Structure 1
Amino acid sequence: MTEMEYGRQRQLLRVRGRSVAWVPPLLLFVAIVLLDLNTSERFRIITWIVLVPGTAAAICGVWATGAFAALAVVTYVVVDSAWPGEYQAGLGDFVLVALGGLLATVACAVRVRKEKQTLHIQDIAETTRRTVLRPLPPRWGGLEHAGVYLAADVDARVGGDFYDIQPGPHGTRLLVGDVQGKGLAAVETAAALLGTFREAGYHEKEVATVAARLETRMLRHRSHSCALGRDDGDRFATAVLVGFPEDAPDTVEMVNFGHEAPLAVGPHGVRELPSGEGLPLGLGDLVDGLPPVRRVPLAADETLLLVTDGVTEARDRSDDFYPLARDIARALAADEHGAEPRRLVRRIRDGVLRHGGGRLDDDTTVFAVRRIRQAQGEGPEQGRLRS
């Protein structure tokens, strides 16, 4: 990327797509020159022209700042020379203007370099986010879905929340979860679990086997982290594993690893599905066995809603939790299509941000999914392949 290309992309002031960052320093330049020429010798302010490259350094590119610095020096000499000798500012102020322009240009170069580094870091964070939370087609594996992920650390753009859909020969599987803790270690754990889910969710016939593979992967990951000297010995992850069997279109298979209880949202209201009676992933060695696989009804017109604790534990200024179920019920009463995944996710996202005053204390994930209604005479396998 050249300096000019970078400047065009990173200008702070734009009107109709064009940069106008040069306007403020230019207006300041004109104002200083006119005031100095149209006031008496008692109000000589031409030295103030050093503010022009200083202003440009904050909002313009390096070349523009250098041009303003050179213009300031030339203008100082011309304007100061127009006054009689006894009223001229002199060599000392000339050195001030010249040195100020040089320092402003150097400062601008440092600023531009730091902004490039920040952009590079943001690109890395975005690549990491897309690797961990891969983009999903809107209709995938026979499911219509919508999701939103809001990182508590805006600059990081990724955290410990994770979700994915994996179609396979044994039906479509869904995983939503939340790794304990924050930072890169949580991201690494989420990536490890998602990698295992994408393989096991495709190949394994039983949902219980997929759940066992996830627990084993979590234990292996913790063991590896501890061997490297990291303090990850007590890290765990809450999660909900959902299977959509093709032979039972009105039910889902669910394993809840201590996660928030999923909600079924439909025309008849909101109902809570089995909560996380099991322990989180990584803590299965504390009990005898994994959480059970439960078959729960989910009608064709119902949407399965899964959220992380960034939603349910969002607080307002009065320290009250976000009323998730009540907000959804209100939305359904006002909009008969309120259970559609996209509308539902948008409603909850806006509700959480509004409830918390735009502030997020934890990573926040909202994921809604429902089966695609198949045309009459279309088999489940056809519906899955068409999606």
Structure 2
Amino acid sequence: MTEMEYERERQPLRFHGRSVAWVPSLLLYIGILLVDFHTTERFRIISWIVLVPGTAAAICGVWTTGGFAVLAVVTYVVVDSTWPGEYQAGLGDFVLVALGGVLATMAAAVRERKERQTLRIMHIAETTRRTVLRPLPARWAGLEHAGVYLAADVDARVGGDFYDIQPGPYGTRVLVGDVQGKGLGAVEAAAALLGTFREAGYHERDLATVAERLETRMLRHRDHGVALGHDDGDRFATAVLIGFPVDAADVVDTVNFGHEPPLAVGPRGVRELPSGDGLPIGMSELGAGPPPVHRVPLAADETLLLVTDGVTEARDRAGEFYPLARDITAMATAEPDLRAEPRRLVRRVRDGVLRHSRGRLGDDTTVFAVRRLAGPEGEGPDRAVCGPEARVCRRSGYGAGWKS
């Protein structure tokens, strides 16, 4: 990270783009001088000037702190020498001020080093998040979507929740899920599942086959982790796999791996799609394989709302869970013209969860809303047009092929 990038990220007390972190230390310096000047020899506080570099060490850079340290020593010598000998603070306080300045400068250097390390870690976490949860166009592959991800660990910025959209020759597929556990192990599992989804969601004709590929990938990933000595023997993931078939505009195919059931929000209210009747990904040995594929109606004016358990299990001070369905139903009643807009839905749930939990998230929280683009928008340049025999999809309106 360059010095300019570091200063821009650190943002220490700025006013109109300029740093004013030195102002508190300067005001303290002036205050000590005025008090010492206007008091008698019975109340000498010039040695308090050691607080000036100490304050600067907490909010200023190394050079600024060093400058205040030198200024404190010089000021102490000048002010103390103007008093008669019997009232001078003496050598002991001089050593205190000088040593305090040196220690303050060293503390500022250590603080800046730690801040740089923290910012590097945050940049790495952000890069990891963008790799796992790749940025998606708001209108893509005939769909409009909005999503928000809130990590329970605000410093890490990344966790086990995941979502993605993958267009392909057999329709557009959507995956939203939550890996059991936290930490890098959960992130690795989420990345593995997303990688498989992006390939299988494009190449496989049947949604059931995509589900089987996800199950197989989770088992392989878990076995690999165990072989390396990682504690991943019981790792699993809940998820919802949704297919928007190219041959039917009024239905969707869903596979629910023990996840929160999606909600369909539209002019006729809020309804729940098939619930998690299957086992989570990675637990097929406890059942008869991946969950079944359900084909359910979805009108053109309905939006699918998918959340992870960070939403439904958010608690208030009384221990009550966040009432997701009730909140969305209230919104649909109060704002009929905007009830199915993905951005509005996501914003409503995000704000509701944070308000309900008072900002104390106990788990990673993901809110994702998606709907078909209607009319000319659905046929515009952002729609993926794929034929069953196509090796790549292309954007209608453009001649160049593209892969995703």
TM class by shorter-chain length? over 0.9
One-letter amino acid matched to 2:316: D
- Partner residue in 1 for 2:47: 47
- Partner residue in 1 for 2:373: 372
1:379 and 1:38 map into 2 onto residues whose CA distance is: 77
Shift of 1:377: 11
The count of residues paired between Structure 1 and Structure 2 equals 387
- Partner residue in 1 for 2:347: 346
One-letter amino acid matched to 1:41: E
Secondary structure in 1 aligned to 2:375? coil
Following superposition of structure 1 onto structure 2, how do residues 309-328 of structure 1 map, counting pairs within 5 Å? 309-328=309-328
1:330 and 1:145 map into 2 onto residues whose CA distance is: 21
1:101 and 1:44 map into 2 onto residues whose CA distance is: 20
Secondary structure in 2 aligned to 1:319? coil
Query: Over residues 317-355 of structure 1, what are the superposed CA-to-partner deviations in whole Å (9 max), with x where a residue is unaligned?
Result: 111111111100111111121220000000000001111
Distance 1:199 1:383, change over 3 A: closer
User: Greater CA deviation, 97-106 or 78-87?
Assistant: 78-87
CA contact (8 A) 2:379 2:396 kept: no
CA contact (8 A) 1:49 1:76 kept: yes
Distance 1:95 1:364, change over 3 A: same
Cα RMSD after superposing both structures: 1.8
One-letter amino acid matched to 2:20: V
- Partner residue in 2 for 1:329: 329
Secondary structure in 2 aligned to 1:375? helix
One-letter amino acid matched to 2:306: L
- Partner residue in 2 for 1:360: 361
Shift of 1:314: 1.0
Distance 1:199 1:171, change over 3 A: same
One-letter amino acid matched to 1:357: R
- Partner residue in 2 for 1:300: 300
CA contact (8 A) 2:264 2:302 kept: yes
Distance 1:8 1:263, change over 3 A: closer
Flag structure 1 segments of 5+ consecutive residues without an equivalent: none
Secondary structure in 2 aligned to 1:149? strand
User: Greater CA deviation, 108-117 or 283-292?
Assistant: 283-292
Distance 1:376 1:87, change over 3 A: closer
- Partner residue in 2 for 1:228: 228
2:67 and 2:237 map into 1 onto residues whose CA distance is: 56
Query: Over residues 136-162 of structure 1, what are the superposed CA-to-partner deviations in whole Å (9 max), with x where a residue is unaligned?
Result: 010111100000111111111111110
Structure 1 residue 219 corresponds to structure 2 residue 219: yes
1:2 and 1:289 map into 2 onto residues whose CA distance is: 52
One-letter amino acid matched to 1:361: G
1:128 and 1:241 map into 2 onto residues whose CA distance is: 23
Q: Please, what TM-score do these two structures have when normalized by structure 2?
A: 0.92
Shift of 1:376: 9.8
Distance 1:54 1:8, change over 3 A: farther
Distance 1:103 1:212, change over 3 A: same
CA contact (8 A) 2:176 2:306 kept: yes
- Partner residue in 1 for 2:32: 32
Shift of 1:4: 7.1
CA contact (8 A) 1:167 1:201 kept: yes
One-letter amino acid matched to 2:135: P
User: Greater CA deviation, 232-241 or 10-19?
Assistant: 10-19
Shift of 1:36: 1.2
- Partner residue in 1 for 2:391: none
Distance 1:104 1:129, change over 3 A: same
CA contact (8 A) 2:142 2:379 kept: no
Following superposition of structure 1 onto structure 2, how do residues 14-93 of structure 1 map, counting pairs within 5 Å? 14-93=14-93
- Partner residue in 2 for 1:253: 253
One-letter amino acid matched to 2:94: F
Distance 1:7 1:97, change over 3 A: farther
CA contact (8 A) 1:12 1:59 kept: yes
1:102 and 1:381 map into 2 onto residues whose CA distance is: 61
One-letter amino acid matched to 2:303: T
CA contact (8 A) 1:11 1:60 kept: no
Q: Please, what TM-score do these two structures have when normalized by structure 1?
A: 0.96
CA contact (8 A) 1:374 1:383 kept: no
CA contact (8 A) 1:8 1:19 kept: no
Secondary structure in 1 aligned to 2:376? coil
User: Greater CA deviation, 377-386 or 54-63?
Assistant: 377-386
One-letter amino acid matched to 2:310: G
CA contact (8 A) 2:143 2:383 kept: no
Distance 1:255 1:59, change over 3 A: same
One-letter amino acid matched to 1:112: E
Shift of 1:17: 2.1
Structure 1 residue 188 corresponds to structure 2 residue 188: yes
CA contact (8 A) 1:54 1:101 kept: yes
Flag structure 2 segments of 5+ consecutive residues without an equivalent: 386-394, 398-404
Query: Over residues 91-140 of structure 1, what are the superposed CA-to-partner deviations in whole Å (9 max), with x where a residue is unaligned?
Result: 11111111100000000000000000000000010011001001101011
Distance 1:4 1:36, change over 3 A: farther
1:23 and 1:379 map into 2 onto residues whose CA distance is: 55
Secondary structure in 2 aligned to 1:135? coil
Shift of 1:89: 1.1
Shift of 1:168: 1.1
Distance 1:83 1:377, change over 3 A: closer
1:37 and 1:239 map into 2 onto residues whose CA distance is: 71
Query: Over residues 12-65 of structure 1, what are the superposed CA-to-partner deviations in whole Å (9 max), with x where a residue is unaligned?
Result: 312222211111100110111111122111111110000000000001000000
2:360 and 2:25 map into 1 onto residues whose CA distance is: 35
CA contact (8 A) 2:165 2:175 kept: yes
- Partner residue in 2 for 1:146: 146
